[in-house]
Amino acid sequence: MSASTNHAPLYNVSATSIPSLLHDKYSSWLYTFFLVLLSLLALEQAVYRYKKRHLPGDTWTIPVIGRFADSMHPTLEGYKKQWDSGALSAISVFNIFIVMASTNEYARKILNSPSYAEPCLVHSAKQVLRPDNWVFLTGKSHIDYRKGLNLLFTRKALGIYIAIQDTIARKHFRMWLDEAAKDPVTPKPIMMTARAMNMDTSLRVFCGPHISETAARDINEKYWFITQSLELVNFPLALPGTKIYKAIQARKVAMHWLELAAHKSKIAMANGSEPECMLDEWVQLLSDPSYKGKREFSDLEMAMVLFSFLFASQDAMSSGLIYGFQHLADHPDVLAKVREEQERVRQGDYEKPMTLEMLEQMPYLQAVVKESMRVKPPVTMVPYRATKAFPITNSYTVPANSMVIPSFYNSLHDPAVYPEPDAFKPERWLDPEGLATQNPKNYLVFGSGPHRCIGLEYASMNIAMVLATASVMFDWEHDITSQSNQVEIIATLFPKDGCRLKLTPRVRN
């Protein structure tokens, strides 16, 4: 057969054969499309299984979305199931390969291996905080920047902050009591009132008189959008109406007021005013000729640092405070001991503002705070990202660019270190030879390594002061519902019913 004869039918297309040809073409496109799709899906499964290797986890990942549905509505029970499946286990969400680490050893290894892994926060964090925020620095530049910020948490600085915290707590407790007096029989959830108090405290400590009541209210009202955007994996585009879009708008409002506060603080310090807040302390420090880390900080840069503190603390602190109230209400014997200690240290003067020296004389209160955050750690885990292949064990290497998430919950509930791990027992911290005090490496409430919480002393001091002041100002009764002991994860842990309390002023004989 000649070549021309061979090709003839190709050009010999009659009118009647056109639909059938189009049909054939369509079928072949469809065929190709499905073939490519199937190959991609097969590739997705192959890559997942290659990365997972022998780790426990789903044998097959749900195509494209993986475990997205679970990450939208995370539950502690769901996480516990995952952690219980192995010291290291694998999942995939939107093709992000995730290794979950459930033992103290692996959690600490991830936190303390900065050359292999760095915090990646939640997916939305870069959009909400701005990519140029210092918290995204890594390596030496992170260490250097953080060194400068450590000076905002010195003992002298904490001494100024605790006086502000005390004033704000008393102001809010008076409002709580006034509100309770209007309807003394109905318990009210403290979820939002405690968050509002906490926001007010943070803004006053950070910005003192340089932020107006209107600004503080404005930031507080909008901040809930930021909390709601802190899901492990979010809808990727910040389109109007999405959680991330609303969170970005809320950040813009907060940043506007924080920048203005930085500007006002600089003017006040230049005019020789006494420092009254974190900003003032910072501005004064920077203008001190003997200060070695001298460099200019623009109003915007200062506002970004303060916003990072707000971002890192608002949810965690609120969670810590709310569970503090709940644990004390559910353990009246413990609350009685807290009050005994208050009476011993305060010697009848209940209006006296708390100082660092007074707090140091309250070891029982400190044990209560430590134990409350151990039982219900505000932050149960922090997502890190493997910056390169990370040989976490002899038999498993976390692939580069995977998420690797250390669990703090398991370290804090390890029965070998904390017998009866779910029980609230502040006494376990009072014995210097006891298991809890002898194993400080298990206490991961504030993380570990180069990114360990910079505000840990500030946070513990504030929670202790709030609970102590509450214990001398009022009685609180917990309305225990079926949801009180269920956990809701909204970035951090909260009791599902918002901790319903009935408050009455404390009557002393």
Binding site residue list for heme? 453
Per CB under 6 A, which region of 216-224, 312-320, 354-362, 466-474 contacts ligand HEM?
A: 312-320
Q: Hey, which residues does 502 pair with through a beta bridge?
A: 477
Q: Does 383 sit near ligand HEM (CB under 6 A)?
A: no
Residues 222-281 contacting ligand HEM, CB under 6 A = none
Largest pairwise CA distance in the chain: 117
- Which of 87, 207, 317, 322 binds ligand HEM (CB under 6 A)? It is 317
Q: Does 399 sit near ligand HEM (CB under 6 A)?
A: no
Q: Which is nearer to ligand HEM, 462 or 471 (CB)?
A: 462
- Which of 233, 367, 454, 464 binds ligand HEM (CB under 6 A)? It is 454
* Least distance to ligand HEM, CB of residue 208, Å: 15
Task: Collect all residues with Cβ–Cβ distance below 8 Å to 34 and sequence separation of at least 6.
Answer: none
- Which of 48, 173, 257, 309 binds ligand HEM (CB under 6 A)? It is 309
Picking from 493, 485, 489, the residue whose alpha carbon sits closest to that of residue 72 is: 489
- Which of 382, 403, 493, 501 binds ligand HEM (CB under 6 A)? It is 382
Q: Does 101 sit near ligand HEM (CB under 6 A)?
A: no
Task: Collect all residues with Cβ–Cβ distance below 8 Å to 364 and sequence separation of at least 6.
Answer: 337, 338, 341, 426, 430
| DSSP state at residue 403 | E
Q: Does 421 sit near ligand HEM (CB under 6 A)?
A: no
Q: Does 312 sit near ligand HEM (CB under 6 A)?
A: yes
In a 3-state reduction of DSSP, which class is residue 258?
helix
Per CB under 6 A, which region of 220-228, 263-271, 430-438, 452-460 contacts ligand HEM?
A: 452-460
CA angle 471, 205, 252 (to 5 degrees): 120
Does the CA dihedral 138-144-148-152 come out positive or negative? positive
**What number of other Cβ atoms are within 10 A of residue 300's Cβ?**
14
Q: Hey, which residues does 97 pair with through a beta bridge?
A: 92
* Least distance to ligand HEM, CB of residue 384, Å: 7
* Least distance to ligand HEM, CB of residue 283, Å: 17
Q: Does 66 sit near ligand HEM (CB under 6 A)?
A: no
Q: Does 452 sit near ligand HEM (CB under 6 A)?
A: yes
**8 Å CB contact between 309 and 205:** no
* Least distance to ligand HEM, CB of residue 122, Å: 12
- Which of 102, 104, 229, 308 binds ligand HEM (CB under 6 A)? It is 308
Q: Which is nearer to ligand HEM, 421 or 449 (CB)?
A: 449
Give the separation between CA 211 and CA 204, rounded to whole angstroms: 8
Strand (E) or helix (H) holding 89: strand 88-93
Q: Which is nearer to ligand HEM, 128 or 379 (CB)?
A: 379
Q: How many residues bind ligand HEM (CB under 6 A)?
A: 26
* Least distance to ligand HEM, CB of residue 72, Å: 22
Q: Which residue is nearest to ligand HEM, using beta carbons?
A: 447
Q: Does 313 sit near ligand HEM (CB under 6 A)?
A: yes
Picking from 371, 378, 342, 357, the residue whose alpha carbon sits closest to that of residue 466 is: 342
HSE at residue 390, side-chain half, CA atoms within 13 A, is 27
- Which of 117, 404, 459, 473 binds ligand HEM (CB under 6 A)? It is 459
* Least distance to ligand HEM, CB of residue 442, Å: 14
Does the CA dihedral 144-146-148-154 come out positive or negative? negative
Residues 125-144 contacting ligand HEM, CB under 6 A = 135
**8 Å CB contact between 365 and 338:** yes
Per CB under 6 A, which region of 159-167, 266-274, 410-418, 445-453 contacts ligand HEM?
A: 445-453
CA distances from 128 to 139, 246, 250, 347, 382 (A): 22, 9, 9, 47, 17
Residues 349-378 contacting ligand HEM, CB under 6 A = 378
Edge to edge, what strands does the sheet with 500-505 contain?
188-189, 500-505, 474-478
* Least distance to ligand HEM, CB of residue 504, Å: 27
Chain centroid to CA 392: how far? 25
* Residue for token pair 């932020």: 211
Per CB under 6 A, which region of 91-99, 361-369, 449-457, 471-479 contacts ligand HEM?
A: 449-457
Q: Does 455 sit near ligand HEM (CB under 6 A)?
A: yes
Per CB under 6 A, which region of 35-43, 156-164, 306-314, 412-420 contacts ligand HEM?
A: 306-314
Give the separation between CA 75 and CA 70, rounded to whole angstroms: 8
* Residue for token pair 């979950």: 100
From the number of C-beta atoms within 10 Å of its C-beta (0-12, 13-18, 19+), residue 364 rates as middle
Two tokens, residue 199: 């926001």
Q: Does 156 sit near ligand HEM (CB under 6 A)?
A: no
Give the separation between CA 281 and CA 213, rounded to whole angstroms: 21
**8 Å CB contact between 285 and 154:** no
* Least distance to ligand HEM, CB of residue 377, Å: 7
Q: Which is nearer to ligand HEM, 434 or 449 (CB)?
A: 449
Q: Which residues are at the interface with ligand HEM (CB under 6 A)?
A: 111, 119, 135, 146, 308-309, 312-313, 316-317, 320, 378-379, 382, 445-449, 451-455, 458-459
